[in-house]
């Protein structure tokens, strides 16, 4: 488990809001999270975002429920942290779809920017991750489980921003 530096995440969000007062996010308090389930995976996937190809991610609906978290909304933000829990990026959700894991398509697998960037590779890698996640939640994983498929843009810091 990675301990997130909440104070640093709040400061990053404050810096972003100050630089973009026109974006109407005064009441938003984005979650600070990390990719994956280990420090190594968090760093590897964050690197895939900062180096360019990763502009999508997916999570089981059950994972949001288990953490008492709301599902993301189009236009909502979240802060991505590294494997040490330090915030590195602010991202904004551009596109969301909820559907069975098995409904992932080639385009989404490509946009997620991991591994071979194919549907087959994506399914194999995510099955392993979600089997571990479901075991922690006391659930049995299968490909019919609902997932949130999210495409995002990096919006902060400015030198990494897509927009």
Instruction: Supply φ then ψ for residue 145, to 5 degrees.
Output: -65, 145
Give the tens place of pLDDT for each residue, 76-115.
999 999 999 999 999 999 999 999 999 999 999 999 999 9
Domain ranges of the chain: 6-157
Give the tens place of pLDDT for each residue, 12-45.
999 999 998 887 667 888 999 999 999 999 999 9
Nearest-5° angle of CA 73, CA 77, CA 83? 120
pTM score over 0.75: yes
Class of domain 6-157: alpha beta
| Percent share of the chain, pLDDT over 70 | 99
Q: Compute the chain's Rg from CA coordinates.
A: 15
Instruction: Supply φ then ψ for residue 108, to 5 degrees.
Output: -65, -45
Burial class for 23, CB neighbours closer than 10 Å (0-12, 13-18, 19+): middle
């Amino acid at each position: 488990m990675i301990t997130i530096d909440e104070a640093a995440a709040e400061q990053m969000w404050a810096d972003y809001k100050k630089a973009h007062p026109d974006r109407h996010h005064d009441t938003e308090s984005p979650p600070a999270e990390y990719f994956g389930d280990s420090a190594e995976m968090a760093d590897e996937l964050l690197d895939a975002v900062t180096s360019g190809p990763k502009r999508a991610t997916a999570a089981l609906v059950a994972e949001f429920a288990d953490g008492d978290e709301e599902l993301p909304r189009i236009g909502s933000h979240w802060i991505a942290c590294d494997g040490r829990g330090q915030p590195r990026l602010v991202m904004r959700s551009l596109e969301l779809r909820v559907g069975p894991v098995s409904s992932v398509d080639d385009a989404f697998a490509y946009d997620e920017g991991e591994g071979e960037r194919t549907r087959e590779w994506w399914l194999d890698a995510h099955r392993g991750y979600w089997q571990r996640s479901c075991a922690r939640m006391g659930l049995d994983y299968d490909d019919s489980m609902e997932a949130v498929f999210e495409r995002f843009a990096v919006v902060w810091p400015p030198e990494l921003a897509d927009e």
